[in-house]
Structure 1
Amino acid sequence: MAYGAAMSEAAVDLPDERDAIRRALIEWYEDDHREYPWRETDDPYAILVSEVMSQQTQLDRVVDAWDDFLERWPTVGDLAATDRSDVVAFWSAHSLGYNNRAKYLHEAATQVVEEYDGEFPESPDGLSELMGVGPYTANAVASFAFNNGDAVVDTNVKRVLYRAFSIPDEDAAFEDVANALMPDGESRVWNNAIMELGGVACEKTPRCDEVGCPWREWCDAYETGDFTAPDVPTQPSFEGSRRQMRGRVIGALKEHENLTLDELGPKVRVDYAPEGEYGREWLRNLLEDLADDGLVEIEERSDQPIARLR
């Protein structure tokens, strides 16, 4: 089946058996799916934490960090009341990626407490007003916490729609078809189900028969054997990456409070040499990035700058 680029055409060209397609996917998901703790709650705070942690991080790695985070800060009020440096240090210690996510999560919690009397907005538009909450995250929280979202479109969903219904590799077409398929008022179960389909059955290497994909009878790729899909960006290696070095800076400053460049350098890289490739200039650039993100302060001194957490 061919799809035109126009959104309205894409929606019209879906198979006639839409109710059967919806029912098959939801039944497949409800019968058996991966169990993650954030799927067992409708607490918007807990769900927001899971969504922020899951950005470019494998879900299985997120579970322990999510549990630890909510044990330490069980409510949005608890998070807002804590010092931001504690949240950043937690983020770094759990290797959760860019530390500015921790800063934004803390600021969003503060907004909820101070501007919304501790109650989260319930719509994607309202949630998008929170610091660091983009359209995808806002829609996910609205869907999973309040059953009040649009269809989620991530890389897994794009891969499913591209293969199953020959949707062109265009964001507008994916969004339109995803919303045309989602049953009214069922964003919570639907978005979980279609993302599960992409994460379990319609991976880069598909496992259609192995996991009993519920869409095989309608799927163009299954019929033709052509399982090509849009390019999916790969996550850069964490080991040796700039974000790992940023995390080490935060960890060292959390432990030692104030450090000169030459005191801090060896705690970030074992091959630190003041005049070397990974020396003062390299470290200063790293610190300035963190300062721009509001995480670090640099105090200029006559001998060497002093770095500390903000």
Structure 2
Amino acid sequence: MSEQSATDVPGEVPADLEAIQRALVEWYETDHREYPWRQTEDPYEILVSEVMSQQTQLDRVVDAWRDFLDRWPTAEALAAADRGDVVGFWTSHSLGYNNRAKYLHEAARQVVEGEAGPSDRPRNGGETTADGEWPRDPDGLSELMGVGPYTANAVASFAFNNGDAVVDTNVKRVLYRAFGVPDDDDAFETVAQRLMPEGESRVWNNAVMELGGVACEKTPDCDGAQCPWREWCHAYQTGDFTAPDVPTQPSFEGSRRQFRGRVINVLNEYDELTLDDLGPRVRVDYAPDGEYGREWLRDLVGDLAEDGLVSVGETDGTTVVALDR
């Protein structure tokens, strides 16, 4: 894991990069969605999944991906296929623009016929397939027909563990919310690359995309998905979940997430507070014995304590809450 400082990157990325990296990777490795292309390091199989996934929901891709590989299991088999058959498959499985099928067919031919050999950049893992010599880095993979920078980097990462940090819409949303990264492509690229542990593009890019797809969607599910970055997340602490692709405030007004954020915000200003001192600062209708009173607040801060964000204690029979620094 990286131990370098984050003080020279845009936004408010904490200096302890190693803690951030470890938290995300452990979260991902503990539990993540099981897509079949995550179980392979075959560049052909991964390329097929990436091309199919363009503007298509992943759950819809699974059956089409398996059917495609049953019919054309290698790049050599695909290159030898009739292009009309490939386009027909694409259409019958509602996979979007037929040009993608044509480009995938041509990319397979390029690999098989040796028109897209490895580039001069250093290699890092991966196996040469029997179908031909695959490019092993984003620059080389970009030479394949229809393979843009994002797809090239994804294949380099997942097949050869030799990619750069992925920066897609989901990743931008995560970085914007978690670390206040400005809505600027160069800023996102800089922060994403700094956060990624060196030589771990495979697990890191899978993990950060999983975070954006499971916990930090347009409507976030921070607690339900047990987001590993809650401890550092600016949006989680403030309750402001806007993002570049979420221009208006998501529906969280009055939600538990909102009040958890307010508790953290208030405690940032004080060493510690009793429940009755904290309550009115969290919601204006706080009443010690009311519906939104001590029991409601005690339950709320109890959740935060379980997440390691606050500490709860007793002083002279009174419950006291402090930020767990």
Fold-level match, TM-score > 0.5?
A: yes
Displacement of 1:211:
1.0
4+ long deviations beyond 6 Å = none
Partners of 1:128 and 1:135 within 8 A in 2: yes
- Matched-pair contact (CA < 8 Å) for 2:46–2:158: yes
Q: Which amino acid aligns with 1:167?
A: V
Q: Which has the larger radius of gyration?
A: 2
The unaligned stretches of length 5 or more in structure 2 are 1-5, 118-130, 248-325
CA root-mean-square deviation: 1.7
Aligned mates of 2:12, 2:225 — CA distance in 1: 27
Q: How far apart, CA to CA, are the structure 1 residues paired with 2:85 and 2:192?
A: 39
Give the deviation of 1:67 after TM superposition: 0.2
Give the secondary structure class of the aligned counterpart of 1:10: coil
The whole-number CA distance in structure 2 between the counterparts of 1:232 and 1:130 is 34
Note the C-alpha offset of 1:8.
Answer: 9.2
Match of 1:150 in 2: 164
| Matching residue's letter, 1:220 | H
**1:51-97 Cα shifts (integer Å, max 9, x gaps):** 00000000000000000000000000000000111000000000000
- CA 1:151/1:207 → structure 2, altered by over 3 Å: closer, same or farther? same
Q: Where does residue 67 of structure 2 map in the other structure?
A: 68
Q: 1:232 to 1:38 in 2, by over 3 A?
A: farther
Aligned to 1:55: 54
C-alpha separation in 2, matches of 1:135 and 1:8: 28
Q: Following TM superposition, by how much is the alpha carbon of 1:160 offset from its aligned partner in structure 2, in angstroms?
A: 0.3
Instruction: Write out aligned runs for 1:103-182 (5 A).
Output: 103-115=102-114, 116=117, 118-182=132-196
1:210 partnered with 2:209? no
Cα-to-partner distance string for 1:2-25 (whole Å, 9 max, x where unaligned): xxxxx9942595211110000000
Distance 1:155 1:12 in 2: 17
Cα deviation per residue 1:188-209 (whole Å; 9 max; x = unaligned)?
A: 0000000000000000000000
Percent of residue pairs bearing the same amino acid type = 78
Deviations 1:257-281 (A, max 9, x none): xxxxxxxxxxxxxxxxxxxxxxxxx
CA distance in 2, matches of 1:37, 1:106: 21
> Aligned partners of 1:124, 1:179: CA distance in 2, in Å?
14
Taking the aligned partners of 2:13 and 2:240, their CA distance within structure 1 comes to: 19
- Unpaired stretches in structure 1, ≥5 consecutive residues: 1-6, 234-310
Q: Does structure 2 conserve the Cα–Cα contact (< 8 Å) formed by 1:11 and 1:180?
A: no
More relative contact order, 1 or 2 (CA 8 Å, 6+ apart): 1
Going from structure 1 to structure 2, the CA distance change for 1:200 and 1:78 (only over 3 Å counts) comes to same
| Structure 2 counterpart of 1:230, from 222, 228, 244 | 244
The one-letter code sitting in structure 1 at the alignment partner of 2:202 is R
Q: Return the TM-score normalized by structure 2.
A: 0.68
- Measured in 1, the distance between the counterparts of 2:92 and 2:85 equals 10
How many positions carry a matched residue from both structures? 227
Separation of aligned partners in 1, 2:240 and 2:202: 31
